[in-house]
Structure 1
Amino acid sequence: MTDAPIEVVVTRLAAAPEAVRASAALLSDAERHRARRFAFDRDATRFIVARAHLRQLLAARLGVRAEAVEFEYGVYGKPVLSRRFADSDLHFNLSHCDDVAAYAFSCGHAIGIDVEAVREISDADNIAARYFSRLENVTYRSLKPRDRPLGFFNCWTRKEAFVKALGDGLSMPLDRFDVTLAPGDPAKVLRVEDTPGDDSGWRLDSLCPAAGYVVAIASQA
């Protein structure tokens, strides 16, 4: 990913109890309150460690202490740095699945990231029919059965990363843009509404951070 100022960091969220306590100490009161609302300790722990890692990664790039990082949230819940850090022009996004967390950073460009475990889903075909675009459905249904789980999650993560980069929730319907999804094909935006992907101003990247996982990153080109 050398054509644009994008940095991706992938970490595991498994942590010993003392490390979880140290991570919690880095969070704001609001973040600790949010952690207490999780029904399961495992989910609370993953949230605490993921958010602490985010603070540490941002702090290293901003030259401040992790506890001093401040967030604001968009209408649809996307976290951004507070106005205090506006001069940095640092954009970021994060995602986690199971105990794998992925973070993306960019200077001056909107960015979104998504990570998923590749697995078989019983109603994957129905989900694709409902949420994928016409072109994506044609491509997905042309895949051999053994390739469909990866094709499905290639498409899902790429669309999710793009929507997260926009930061507008689902204000753009998922069938209004096309992405590549076939295993082996480079990640790419093919269309955004009536604009060809090459002229859309958006870029997609993908990677496999660990066996059985796929990550997609969407950024302004």
Structure 2
Amino acid sequence: MHQVPATGHREAGPGTPAPGECHLWHVPVRERPDWLPILSREERATADRFTRVRARHVFTTSRAVQRLVGAHYLGLPPGDVVITRHCHRCAAPTAAPHGRPRFAHGTPPPVDYSVSHTEEHLLVAVTGHGAVGVDIEGPGSLRDVDGLARAALTTAEREHFGTLSAGDRARWLLAVWTRKEAAMKLTGLGLRVNPRELDVRGPLLSAGSVPEWPDTPVHLYDLPAPEGHAAALASTVPMTRTRTCALPAAADAGPRPARR
């Protein structure tokens, strides 16, 4: 499987990604009370409704980091970053906004991004050209290896799966599932797509009979991931390099409250 070259780690994020470049923001999930003021009133209310502490930390980390990353590229205070999740397939607004998240600044926005998480890690991928999808998965995604293989693999992928040793099957399946998730998030179709129609073994995704699947080629890349995890990137333009970025230390101290 194809892996896009990396250009190293930066403590502070660079400017808008150049053509063929993707910026990756990796943030550990943990409790950060100083980030709560970044969230909107609705997001803080949603966070308060979580009964599982870890799920609340995942939610607040994800929403705050999206605003912090957006602030970097948009030149705005984090609390002023507006994120939309409009699904263009829904004829009317829904009670629970869904769809690909986007920064509601500019037409189109200056960057496209995708976000994914496990209970321990959050990953945001940002590109300045084309669209992007990212996914990170942990061991918890493989509670039933054979069941996931039956539900998610194409015929050709299942044949390859059958040739692997028992020790290699789980690792290979996790990487394949991550690539499928990244591609489904890229299109905005999500799990409405039957993953058994998506062959992700090569550098370009091969889609079977999938309603509304775009004509644009989908490029696939494996990404470095924490131990026991897998991460993948899908993009509508070829990626020649990635740059791993880190939030500045000041992001943990006294953010400006959200206006919405």
Change (3 A) 1:190 1:202: closer
Q: Which moves more between the two structures, 209-218 or 69-78?
A: 69-78
2:138 maps to what in 1?
117
CA drift of 1:167 comes to 0.5
Could you say what secondary structure the match of 1:85 adopts? Answer: coil
Residue pair 2:205, 2:217 contacting (<8 A) in 1 also: no
1:63 maps to what in 2?
75
Change (3 A) 1:170 1:13: closer
Residue pair 1:120, 1:149 contacting (<8 A) in 2 also: no
CA drift of 1:14 comes to 2.2
* Distance in 2 separating the partners of 1:72 and 1:190: 27
Of the three residues 193, 205, 208, the one matched with 1:193 is 208
Give yes or no for the alignment of 1:40 onto 2:56: no
Q: Deviations over 1:106-157 (max 9, x none)?
A: 1131111111113684521122112211111111221111011111111111
CA drift of 1:166 comes to 0.3
Could you say what secondary structure the match of 1:7 adopts? Answer: strand
Larger relative contact order (C-alpha < 8 A, sep ≥ 6)? 2
Residue pair 2:218, 2:235 contacting (<8 A) in 1 also: yes
CA drift of 1:74 comes to 2.9
CA drift of 1:171 comes to 4.1
Q: Which runs of no fewer than 5 residues in structure 2 stay unpaired? A: 6-18, 88-97, 210-214, 238-260
* Distance in 2 separating the partners of 1:46 and 1:132: 29
The runs of at least 4 aligned residues of structure 1 exceeding 4 Å deviation read none
Residue pair 2:135, 2:231 contacting (<8 A) in 1 also: yes
CA drift of 1:87 comes to 4.5
Could you say what secondary structure the match of 1:43 adopts? Answer: helix
Q: How many residues align?
A: 206
* Distance in 2 separating the partners of 1:134 and 1:200: 24
Q: Deviations over 1:140-195 (max 9, x none)?
A: 22111101111111111100000000002334321222012xxxxxx62341237x
Letter in 2 for 1:36: D
* Distance in 2 separating the partners of 1:32 and 1:190: 38
Q: Which runs of no fewer than 5 residues in structure 1 stay unpaired? A: 181-186
Residue pair 2:205, 2:219 contacting (<8 A) in 1 also: no
* Distance in 2 separating the partners of 1:138 and 1:210: 28
TM-score, normalised with respect to structure 1:
0.84
Letter in 2 for 1:4: G
Change (3 A) 1:135 1:93: same
* Larger strand proportion of the pair: 1
2:152 maps to what in 1?
131
Residue pair 1:6, 1:104 contacting (<8 A) in 2 also: yes
Residue pair 1:14, 1:99 contacting (<8 A) in 2 also: yes
Percent of paired sites with the same residue: 25
Could you say what secondary structure the match of 1:170 adopts? Answer: helix
CA drift of 1:40 comes to 0.9
Residue pair 1:73, 1:79 contacting (<8 A) in 2 also: yes
* Distance in 1 separating the partners of 2:151 and 2:53: 33
2:244 maps to what in 1?
none
Letter in 1 for 2:218: W
* Distance in 2 separating the partners of 1:77 and 1:174: 18
